[in-house]
Amino acid sequence: MFRSVLRFAAVAVLVCPGPSAGAKEPVAKQVILISVDGMTPAEYEQADAHGLRIPNIRALMRSGCASPGMMGVFPASTYPSHTSMITGQPPAVHGVISNTPMDPFNLEFGGWFYYAEKIKTPTLWQALHAAHLKTAAVSWPVTVGADVDYLLPEYRPVRTEEDVALMRVLSTPGLFREMQQQNSTARPMSDAWRTDAVLAILRTRRPSLLALHLSELDEAQHKYGPHAAESHEELERIDSEIGKIRSYVDQSGRARETAWILVSDHGFLPVTKLFHPLVALRDAGLIATDKNGRLVDWKVYQRNLTGSVFFEAKDPADHASIEKATEVLRKLAVDPANGIGHIYTPQELKALGADPMAFLAMDPVKDFGFGSNLTGPLVTESASKGAHGYNPQIPEMHPSFILSGAGVSRCSEVEGVTIEDVGPTAAALLGAAIPGAEGRDARNPQK
């Protein structure tokens, strides 16, 4: 309800005329969807003020429509957000409620929700297939095993020969090896490698949709903080990668039939301190550790996204532990030194379309995030300087959205776009629709 109210309260300032969501007339033959992980709209809206040289992103913005920030999802994290884009649904509906499964003992060895089978609702890839169109995805999250024609999925960090061998198997047969043969200098799956792969796929496969996820800005912002000089240098490098794709499209003679959707999955906030809820839950007897401080048992545990934290009970019927944990956390929230901003009830989480399994969630005040220590002080310094995962209504969390090219009339600004509108917009540009999507064609948000 929270999100719905916001959705309809937002005013479409100037939207581009075009067919309504679900229209069958394609207006583009090729859609290039690029997600620059963690890019805030402030980067393109205030590039000059930041001394940021991003001519390619600015050119897409000037020739099309740019949003001052989409409404994202809760948590404002990479996998839930990317999945909301390609399903047009909030996390509670599409099923990818977090980056990782609840795994207190790390039995999954840090595994994320890599697999497309986790997605419960129809995807953009499936919708385009139904319309007999070809798709390509390069490092798009939650695509291992996805119904994509030319697939180089996102999986664990590619560091070893074995990682490379595994990527060959997870990708469309032959495709990863083919890309390796023409990308001899860039590190496999680095942003530069992904861009070279995109150029090769556009040249040799000509998919109707090409989705690319670039992740190195996110890494820089976690390490150095949002708007840090190092983060800006990374974005400038990414802009030059986008420039290579723009140049190729121009040279290929397909510029007039190509639509561009440039997005991010979430924004970023600086973080200096971490509050560690598990320390308090352990003190309350809800988590047991051995003499070395290692976890041996738990009644309630957390799923930590730094900018928010969600709590689940091992036994959802264990009301005593749920009540005790709630009491402990609510008491700690009263002390400003702990940096707890808001405590979410299951009803609030439901209204936000977030994790339906959590009995409680919290977000922090600014400068704070959440940590996962089991022992030691409740509050520590943060090793990372930037974080996300916060409530998507915080302006700094808003993801980017720029729409340009075929089927898009020039306009100054679009407002009221949500992250669930990304996939439906891509589908509509190609004359298709994602069945049951809550999101709409951003060119015509009244529908």
In the complex, least distance from residue 266 CB atom to Zn ion, rounded to whole angstroms = 6
In the complex, least distance from residue 141 CB atom to Zn ion, rounded to whole angstroms = 8
Q: Which residue is nearest to Zn ion (CB)?
A: 78
In the complex, least distance from residue 388 CB atom to Zn ion, rounded to whole angstroms = 7
Q: Six-digit token pair at 176?
A: 């990863």
Nearer to Zn ion, 263 or 280 (CB): 263
- Residue found under tokens 């960090």: 157
Nearer to Zn ion, 78 or 87 (CB): 78
Nearer to Zn ion, 387 or 430 (CB): 387
In the complex, least distance from residue 374 CB atom to Zn ion, rounded to whole angstroms = 26
In the complex, least distance from residue 78 CB atom to Zn ion, rounded to whole angstroms = 3
Query: Binding segment for Zn ion among 34-42, 142-150, 296-304, 337-345 (CB under 5 A)?
Result: 34-42
Nearer to Zn ion, 216 or 421 (CB): 216
Query: Binding segment for Zn ion among 5-13, 71-79, 235-243, 305-313 (CB under 5 A)?
Result: 71-79
- Residue found under tokens 């994290």: 77
Please spell the DSSP secondary structure of 30-80, one letter per residue: EEEEEEETT--HHHHHTTTTTT---HHHHHHHHHSEE-S--B--SS--HHH
Query: Binding segment for Zn ion among 20-28, 37-45, 149-157, 410-418 (CB under 5 A)?
Result: 37-45
Contact positions with Zn ion (CB under 5 A) in 117-176: none
Type of residue numbered 354: A
In the complex, least distance from residue 76 CB atom to Zn ion, rounded to whole angstroms = 8
Type of residue numbered 441: D
CB 345 within 8 A of CB 374: no
| Residues paired with 340 in a beta bridge | 364
Of 35, 40, 67, 78, the one binding Zn ion by CB under 5 A? 78
Contact positions with Zn ion (CB under 5 A) in 165-224: 218
In the complex, least distance from residue 35 CB atom to Zn ion, rounded to whole angstroms = 8
Of 16, 33, 36, 37, the one binding Zn ion by CB under 5 A? 37
x/- binding map, residues 389-428, to Zn ion, per CB under 5 A?
----------------------------------------
CB 445 within 8 A of CB 424: no
Name the residue among 330, 326, 361 with its Cα closest to residue 346: 361
CA separation for the pair 212, 220 (Å, rounded):
18
- How far from the centroid of its chain's Cα atoms is residue 151's Cα? 18
Nearer to Zn ion, 149 or 154 (CB): 154
Q: Six-digit token pair at 276?
A: 């560690």
Query: Binding segment for Zn ion among 70-78, 164-172, 187-195, 233-241 (CB under 5 A)?
Result: 70-78
x/- binding map, residues 253-282, to Zn ion, per CB under 5 A?
------------x-----------------
Nearer to Zn ion, 43 or 265 (CB): 265
Nearer to Zn ion, 265 or 420 (CB): 265
Nearer to Zn ion, 86 or 281 (CB): 86
CB 403 within 8 A of CB 90: no
Nearer to Zn ion, 79 or 359 (CB): 79
In the complex, least distance from residue 234 CB atom to Zn ion, rounded to whole angstroms = 14
Looking at residue 406, the DSSP 8-state letter turns out to be: T
Nearer to Zn ion, 218 or 441 (CB): 218
Query: Binding segment for Zn ion among 33-41, 49-57, 134-142, 432-440 (CB under 5 A)?
Result: 33-41
3-state secondary structure 201-266: HHHHCCCCEEEEEECHHHHHHHHHCCCCHHHHHHHHHHHHHHHHHHHHHHHCCCHHHEEEEEECCC
Nearer to Zn ion, 83 or 321 (CB): 83
* Burial track 306-345 (b if 16+ CB lie within 10 A, e otherwise): bbbbbbbbeeeebeebbebbbebbeebbeeeebbbbeebe
Label residue 184 exposed, middle or buried (CB < 10 Å: 0-12, 13-18, 19+).
exposed
CA separation for the pair 230, 411 (Å, rounded):
32
In the complex, least distance from residue 339 CB atom to Zn ion, rounded to whole angstroms = 22
CA separation for the pair 2, 274 (Å, rounded):
27
**Count of residues engaged in binding Zn ion, rule: CB under 5 A:** 4
Residues at the site binding Zn ion, with contacts judged by CB under 5 A = 37, 78, 218, 265
